[in-house]
Structure 1
Amino acid sequence: MFKVTPNPPVTDPASPYESADSKKFHEAAERALDHYLGPTNADLMATPYSPNTLYMANPQANTESLLADASETLGSATVMLNNHAAQVEGTHRKTLQGIAQVVMVAEMAVNRVLDRLVPTE
Protein backbone atom coordinates (compact mmCIF):
# COMPACT_ATOMS: atom_id res chain seq x y z
CA MET A 1 0.00 0.00 0.00
CA PHE A 2 1.26 3.47 -0.90
CA LYS A 3 1.87 5.87 1.98
CA VAL A 4 0.39 9.33 1.29
CA THR A 5 2.60 11.34 3.63
CA PRO A 6 6.38 10.91 3.69
CA ASN A 7 8.31 10.12 6.83
CA PRO A 8 9.48 13.23 8.71
CA PRO A 9 13.12 14.16 8.24
CA VAL A 10 15.62 12.91 10.75
CA THR A 11 16.62 15.79 13.01
CA ASP A 12 19.58 16.29 15.26
CA PRO A 13 18.46 16.10 18.91
CA ALA A 14 21.10 18.66 19.91
CA SER A 15 20.09 21.64 22.03
CA PRO A 16 19.69 24.98 20.24
CA TYR A 17 21.83 26.46 23.00
CA GLU A 18 25.15 24.77 22.27
CA SER A 19 26.99 27.99 23.01
CA ALA A 20 26.34 31.31 24.69
CA ASP A 21 26.19 33.01 21.29
CA SER A 22 23.39 30.76 20.08
CA LYS A 23 21.40 31.50 23.25
CA LYS A 24 21.88 35.26 22.75
CA PHE A 25 20.85 34.89 19.11
CA HIS A 26 17.73 32.96 20.11
CA GLU A 27 16.78 35.59 22.72
CA ALA A 28 17.30 38.38 20.17
CA ALA A 29 15.14 36.54 17.66
CA GLU A 30 12.39 36.11 20.27
CA ARG A 31 12.50 39.84 21.10
CA ALA A 32 12.28 40.72 17.40
CA LEU A 33 9.32 38.39 16.88
CA ASP A 34 7.56 39.78 19.95
CA HIS A 35 8.17 43.31 18.70
CA TYR A 36 6.92 42.75 15.17
CA LEU A 37 4.13 40.28 15.90
CA GLY A 38 2.77 42.25 18.82
CA PRO A 39 1.45 41.15 22.19
CA THR A 40 -0.32 37.86 22.76
CA ASN A 41 -4.04 37.60 23.45
CA ALA A 42 -3.31 37.00 27.13
CA ASP A 43 -1.38 40.28 27.28
CA LEU A 44 -4.20 42.12 25.54
CA MET A 45 -6.84 40.71 27.87
CA ALA A 46 -4.75 41.61 30.94
CA THR A 47 -4.45 45.24 29.84
CA PRO A 48 -7.20 47.39 31.36
CA TYR A 49 -9.43 49.17 28.84
CA SER A 50 -9.02 52.92 28.77
CA PRO A 51 -11.12 54.76 26.18
CA ASN A 52 -9.47 57.30 23.92
CA THR A 53 -10.46 60.76 25.11
CA LEU A 54 -9.55 62.50 21.86
CA TYR A 55 -12.95 61.80 20.32
CA MET A 56 -15.26 61.42 23.26
CA ALA A 57 -19.01 61.97 23.44
CA ASN A 58 -19.97 64.95 25.55
CA PRO A 59 -20.74 63.65 29.06
CA GLN A 60 -23.47 66.29 29.42
CA ALA A 61 -25.27 65.14 26.24
CA ASN A 62 -28.58 63.43 26.90
CA THR A 63 -29.32 59.89 25.78
CA GLU A 64 -31.85 60.92 23.13
CA SER A 65 -29.35 63.21 21.40
CA LEU A 66 -26.64 60.56 21.43
CA LEU A 67 -28.98 57.91 20.01
CA ALA A 68 -30.27 60.29 17.33
CA ASP A 69 -26.71 61.12 16.29
CA ALA A 70 -25.75 57.42 16.25
CA SER A 71 -28.78 56.65 14.09
CA GLU A 72 -27.91 59.39 11.59
CA THR A 73 -24.26 58.29 11.49
CA LEU A 74 -25.19 54.67 10.85
CA GLY A 75 -27.68 55.72 8.17
CA SER A 76 -24.99 57.79 6.45
CA ALA A 77 -22.55 54.88 6.62
CA THR A 78 -25.15 52.60 5.00
CA VAL A 79 -25.65 55.06 2.14
CA MET A 80 -21.89 55.48 1.61
CA LEU A 81 -21.35 51.71 1.56
CA ASN A 82 -24.20 51.14 -0.89
CA ASN A 83 -22.94 53.95 -3.16
CA HIS A 84 -19.46 52.45 -3.17
CA ALA A 85 -20.86 48.94 -3.73
CA ALA A 86 -22.63 50.23 -6.84
CA GLN A 87 -19.23 51.15 -8.32
CA VAL A 88 -17.49 47.79 -7.83
CA GLU A 89 -18.19 44.27 -9.04
CA GLY A 90 -17.80 40.70 -7.92
CA THR A 91 -16.87 39.63 -4.42
CA HIS A 92 -15.92 43.17 -3.37
CA ARG A 93 -19.47 44.28 -4.14
CA LYS A 94 -20.94 41.45 -2.09
CA THR A 95 -18.58 42.26 0.79
CA LEU A 96 -19.61 45.92 0.78
CA GLN A 97 -23.28 44.98 0.61
CA GLY A 98 -22.80 42.63 3.57
CA ILE A 99 -21.11 45.35 5.61
CA ALA A 100 -23.88 47.78 4.65
CA GLN A 101 -26.46 45.29 5.87
CA VAL A 102 -24.69 44.89 9.22
CA VAL A 103 -24.57 48.68 9.62
CA MET A 104 -28.25 48.91 8.68
CA VAL A 105 -29.17 46.31 11.32
CA ALA A 106 -27.23 48.33 13.90
CA GLU A 107 -29.12 51.45 12.80
CA MET A 108 -32.42 49.60 13.23
CA ALA A 109 -31.40 48.55 16.75
CA VAL A 110 -30.50 52.13 17.67
CA ASN A 111 -33.80 53.35 16.22
CA ARG A 112 -35.70 50.75 18.27
CA VAL A 113 -34.00 51.95 21.46
CA LEU A 114 -34.73 55.55 20.48
CA ASP A 115 -38.40 54.68 19.91
CA ARG A 116 -38.61 53.07 23.34
CA LEU A 117 -36.92 56.04 24.96
CA VAL A 118 -39.03 58.67 23.20
CA PRO A 119 -42.35 57.22 22.00
CA THR A 120 -43.53 58.70 18.69
CA GLU A 121 -47.21 58.59 19.68
Structure 2
Amino acid sequence: MFKITPNPPETDDDVSPYESIDSKKLHDAAERALDHYLKPPKEPTAARKPSRMFIVAPDMDTESLLAHACESLASASVMLSDFANLLENPHRNTMLGIQQNIMLGELAVNRALDNIDPQN
Protein backbone atom coordinates (compact mmCIF):
# COMPACT_ATOMS: atom_id res chain seq x y z
CA MET A 1 0.00 0.00 0.00
CA PHE A 2 1.37 3.37 -0.98
CA LYS A 3 0.71 6.44 1.06
CA ILE A 4 0.24 9.58 -0.90
CA THR A 5 2.58 12.26 0.42
CA PRO A 6 2.45 15.82 -0.80
CA ASN A 7 5.50 17.46 -2.25
CA PRO A 8 7.20 20.02 -0.04
CA PRO A 9 5.96 23.55 -0.58
CA GLU A 10 7.79 25.52 -3.20
CA THR A 11 9.91 28.37 -1.88
CA ASP A 12 12.17 30.97 -3.38
CA ASP A 13 15.81 29.89 -3.51
CA ASP A 14 17.03 33.14 -1.99
CA VAL A 15 15.11 32.86 1.30
CA SER A 16 17.41 33.78 4.20
CA PRO A 17 17.03 32.60 7.79
CA TYR A 18 17.90 36.20 8.75
CA GLU A 19 14.92 37.68 6.98
CA SER A 20 13.44 39.05 10.18
CA ILE A 21 15.19 40.85 13.01
CA ASP A 22 13.96 38.29 15.54
CA SER A 23 15.59 35.39 13.70
CA LYS A 24 18.90 37.29 13.55
CA LYS A 25 18.73 37.92 17.32
CA LEU A 26 17.89 34.27 17.95
CA HIS A 27 20.80 33.12 15.80
CA ASP A 28 23.21 35.49 17.58
CA ALA A 29 22.00 34.28 21.00
CA ALA A 30 22.47 30.65 19.92
CA GLU A 31 25.99 31.40 18.70
CA ARG A 32 26.89 33.08 22.01
CA ALA A 33 25.52 30.14 23.97
CA LEU A 34 27.46 27.63 21.87
CA ASP A 35 30.64 29.70 22.13
CA HIS A 36 30.22 29.90 25.91
CA TYR A 37 30.25 26.09 26.22
CA LEU A 38 32.36 25.03 23.26
CA LYS A 39 34.93 27.84 23.21
CA PRO A 40 35.74 28.70 26.84
CA PRO A 41 38.10 31.65 27.40
CA LYS A 42 41.76 30.71 27.36
CA GLU A 43 42.42 32.53 30.63
CA PRO A 44 39.97 32.01 33.48
CA THR A 45 38.18 35.19 34.44
CA ALA A 46 38.55 34.53 38.16
CA ALA A 47 41.22 32.43 39.80
CA ARG A 48 39.84 29.44 41.68
CA LYS A 49 40.21 29.80 45.41
CA PRO A 50 39.78 26.53 47.34
CA SER A 51 38.00 26.56 50.65
CA ARG A 52 40.29 27.07 53.61
CA MET A 53 37.99 25.33 56.08
CA PHE A 54 40.01 22.11 55.91
CA ILE A 55 43.55 22.66 54.78
CA VAL A 56 46.79 20.74 55.13
CA ALA A 57 49.55 22.92 56.46
CA PRO A 58 51.62 24.03 53.45
CA ASP A 59 54.91 23.50 55.29
CA MET A 60 54.30 19.76 55.92
CA ASP A 61 57.05 17.56 54.53
CA THR A 62 56.22 14.80 52.06
CA GLU A 63 57.25 11.98 54.37
CA SER A 64 54.87 13.12 57.12
CA LEU A 65 52.01 13.50 54.62
CA LEU A 66 52.60 10.01 53.24
CA ALA A 67 52.84 8.52 56.74
CA HIS A 68 49.52 10.10 57.68
CA ALA A 69 47.91 8.90 54.43
CA CYS A 70 49.19 5.38 55.11
CA GLU A 71 47.72 5.39 58.64
CA SER A 72 44.38 6.72 57.35
CA LEU A 73 44.22 4.02 54.67
CA ALA A 74 45.09 1.31 57.20
CA SER A 75 42.31 2.54 59.52
CA ALA A 76 39.80 2.61 56.67
CA SER A 77 40.81 -0.93 55.70
CA VAL A 78 40.22 -2.22 59.26
CA MET A 79 36.85 -0.43 59.52
CA LEU A 80 35.69 -1.89 56.19
CA SER A 81 36.83 -5.35 57.20
CA ASP A 82 34.89 -5.15 60.46
CA PHE A 83 31.82 -3.81 58.67
CA ALA A 84 32.03 -6.50 55.96
CA ASN A 85 31.90 -9.19 58.66
CA LEU A 86 28.45 -7.90 59.67
CA LEU A 87 27.06 -8.22 56.13
CA GLU A 88 25.93 -11.11 53.98
CA ASN A 89 26.68 -11.69 50.30
CA PRO A 90 26.67 -9.83 47.89
CA HIS A 91 27.13 -6.71 50.05
CA ARG A 92 29.95 -8.40 51.95
CA ASN A 93 31.82 -9.01 48.69
CA THR A 94 31.35 -5.36 47.72
CA MET A 95 32.82 -4.17 51.03
CA LEU A 96 35.74 -6.58 50.73
CA GLY A 97 36.39 -5.29 47.20
CA ILE A 98 36.50 -1.72 48.48
CA GLN A 99 38.80 -2.84 51.31
CA GLN A 100 41.11 -4.44 48.76
CA ASN A 101 41.32 -1.18 46.80
CA ILE A 102 42.19 0.68 49.99
CA MET A 103 44.87 -1.90 50.80
CA LEU A 104 46.36 -1.39 47.32
CA GLY A 105 46.47 2.35 47.98
CA GLU A 106 48.14 1.69 51.30
CA LEU A 107 50.78 -0.46 49.57
CA ALA A 108 51.43 2.33 47.05
CA VAL A 109 51.86 4.90 49.82
CA ASN A 110 54.19 2.55 51.70
CA ARG A 111 56.29 2.15 48.55
CA ALA A 112 56.45 5.93 48.19
CA LEU A 113 57.64 6.17 51.80
CA ASP A 114 60.29 3.54 51.10
CA ASN A 115 61.43 5.50 48.05
CA ILE A 116 61.77 8.69 50.12
CA ASP A 117 63.68 7.06 53.00
CA PRO A 118 65.01 3.64 51.95
CA GLN A 119 65.82 1.36 54.85
CA ASN A 120 69.39 0.09 54.88
State the TM-score bracket (shorter-chain normalisation). Answer: 0.5 to 0.7
Provide the TM-score with structure 2 as the length reference. 0.58
Q: Are positions 1:72 and 2:71 aligned together? A: yes
| 2:114 match | 115
Identity of aligned residues (%): 43
Shift of 1:98: 0.4
Q: Which has the higher helix share?
A: 1
**Which letter does structure 1 place at the counterpart of 2:56?**
A
| 1:60 match | 59
Root mean square deviation of aligned Cα: 2.4
Shift of 1:50: 4.9
**Which letter does structure 2 place at the counterpart of 1:55?**
F
SS of residue matched to 2:93: helix
| 1:7 match | none
Q: Deviations over 1:4-33 (max 9, x none)?
A: xxxxxxxxxxxxxxxxxxxxxxxxxxxxxx
Unaligned runs of at least 5 residues, structure 2: 1-36
Unaligned runs of at least 5 residues, structure 1: 1-41
Provide the TM-score with structure 1 as the length reference. 0.58
* Matches of 2:49 and 2:90, distance apart in 1: 37
**Which letter does structure 2 place at the counterpart of 1:54?**
M
| 1:13 match | none
* Matches of 2:54 and 2:69, distance apart in 1: 14
